[in-house]
A and B are shown apart, each in its own frame.
Chain A
Amino acid sequence: MRYRQSNSVDWKKFEQESVLLDLSSGYYFRLNAVGTYIWSLLDGKHNLAEIVEEVVKRFEVSQRQAKKDISSFIQYLLDENLIEKG
């Protein structure tokens, strides 16, 4: 399964973090450095396994922990309509 950022979301990087702005609701979300990196991979080209692999390479985290955290992060983004499947 691949995911891509929703068209109604604008984002801006600030230092190591980023701001996501949901233009349909006006809510904004603040992502930390790891979240920002994952967000940049939600481009419709990477699947979950590939994202996990990239995160494990870049940050000090086990594959198992990364998969668990990234899955719940992606589910949160889906629930908030910040990303779409496909």
Chain B
Amino acid sequence: MRDFTAKLLTLCRIISGVDGEKCSIAGETETPTDLLIEQLQYHQLIPLVYYYRQQLQAAGWDFDQSTIELLRSHTFSNISRIMIVEHFLQHLDGLFKANAVEYRIFKGIVTAKSVYQEDYLRSFGDLDILVRADQLQAIESLLQQEGFTHAEDLYSHFPDEIIQKYSFAQHFNRVEPYNVSLDVHLNLSGRLHPFQFDSAEFWDNQTSIAINGSTILTFNREYQAIYAIYHAFKHYFFKLIWLIDAFLLLDQKQLDPEKFQQLIKKYKLTKLLIFYSQITLDLFGRLPVAIQQIQISSQRPHRIINAQTVLQGALPYSQSRARILLPMYYLRGWIARLRFLWTQLFPPIETIRNFYLQDGPQKKFWNYFNLRCRAITDLILNKPQEE
């Protein structure tokens, strides 16, 4: 794996324009092609590796012809995926506008269109839109007419007011005529997440992107950047593509560093930004322009959340344990940490009332009870696993 992580590091340095060390490590065996492709898929990096193949080869990454063809084939697949998404979004935008449904699109496709040299370089799966809670029913109905089904989740058996109050996102999927998954977000952060965003503020600070001739609204640059860092944190920084997204978003000259810093302070993300900056400096060899003034050189990389663990792509904890323990590294002060831990293990009375004392099928109770039991059990019995 050391050979592979060295290669990823080289890719990061090429993206940031910093000369890096050669990517082969003496004495390390070359990563087999199937494992290489699997790992690149995990990090969603195949089109980027194909795009930068000549520079990577010059830095010591040895591609044989069959590997290049495999990378090229995956890149073609991603180009077709972008085309599908563009057509779908054009259609969805027309449908929503005709029915007076407002939304903001964010994450994958927006990042692909905004900061990558070519949109196909950014692989992504689901589309993410933020909607107003009072329009959720209308949206569900429109999506069902379009052949989408609503994926079952923890909230499926609860009434609408509970979904609107607690649910972070509703997942919809359609298979015919082509596969599209849509995450309809009611909020930008779940109620039990350590950092809480004001969705209305993101909603109001809008800009637009052009997709297939449609003008689609999204968050402006500073908000996109802050959400990219938060999203990478939420998933423990364990996919390199999220860190590349954040790097490219923060490396835009048009981004206002002061406004970005104000948002960092407002949403209490200062410590998280320091972690992010340390990892970014180690991976990319420099900080992106918007945060170049951050002083981090005196700190040593964290023993768990650092560039090496990001490159290895493996969680040091079980996911449930990571969800509870890792955010505590980013919170400032013991009081904030203890408050977060307490909320995770023992939710507020209002939450218990909403989830435990609802009328109706027992499943509601068991869903929630099982989740809590699992969280506490995983916290005690750590079983590391790959995500």
What residues on B are CB-neighbors of A17 within 8 Å? 76
A10-B87, A21-B84 known; A26+B177 contact, CB < 8 A: yes
Q: Which residue of chain B has its CB nearest to the CB of A23?
A: B87
What residues on B are CB-neighbors of A26 within 8 Å? 84, 176-179
**Residue contact B177 to A30, C-beta cutoff 8 Å:** no
Overall SS of chain B's interface: helix
Alpha-carbon separation in the docked complex, A21 to B79 (Å): 10
**Residue contact A14 to B179, C-beta cutoff 8 Å:** no
**Residue contact A12 to B83, C-beta cutoff 8 Å:** yes
- Of A19, A24, A25, A30, the contact of B83 (CB 8 Å cutoff): A19
Q: Please encode chain A, from 1 to 28, with 1 for each CB lying within 8 Å of some chain B CB and 0 for all others.
A: 0000000001010100101010111101
What residues on B are CB-neighbors of A28 within 8 Å? 76-77, 80, 83
What residues on A are CB-neighbors of B176 within 8 Å? 26
**Residue contact B80 to A19, C-beta cutoff 8 Å:** yes
Q: Please encode chain B, from 69 to 108, with 1 for each CB lying within 8 Å of some chain A CB and 0 for all others.
A: 0000101110110011001000000000000000000000
Alpha-carbon separation in the docked complex, A23 to B120 (Å): 18
**Residue contact B79 to A23, C-beta cutoff 8 Å:** no
What residues on A are CB-neighbors of B76 within 8 Å? 14, 17, 19, 28, 30
In the assembled complex, how far is the CB of residue B112 from the closest CB belonging to chain A, in whole angstroms?
Answer: 14
In the assembled complex, how far is the CB of residue B195 from the closest CB belonging to chain A, in whole angstroms?
Answer: 38
What residues on A are CB-neighbors of B84 within 8 Å? 21, 23, 26
Alpha-carbon separation in the docked complex, A28 to B83 (Å): 10
What residues on A are CB-neighbors of B177 within 8 Å? 23-26
A positions within 8 Å CB-CB of B: 10, 12, 14, 17, 19, 21, 23-26, 28, 30
What are 7 A-B interface contacts by the 8 Å CB criterion?
A14-B75, A14-B76, A21-B84, A23-B178, A24-B177, A26-B179, A28-B77
A10-B83, A17-B76, A23-B84 known; 7 new pairs, CB 8 Å cut-off, are: A12-B79, A21-B84, A25-B178, A26-B84, A26-B177, A28-B76, A28-B80
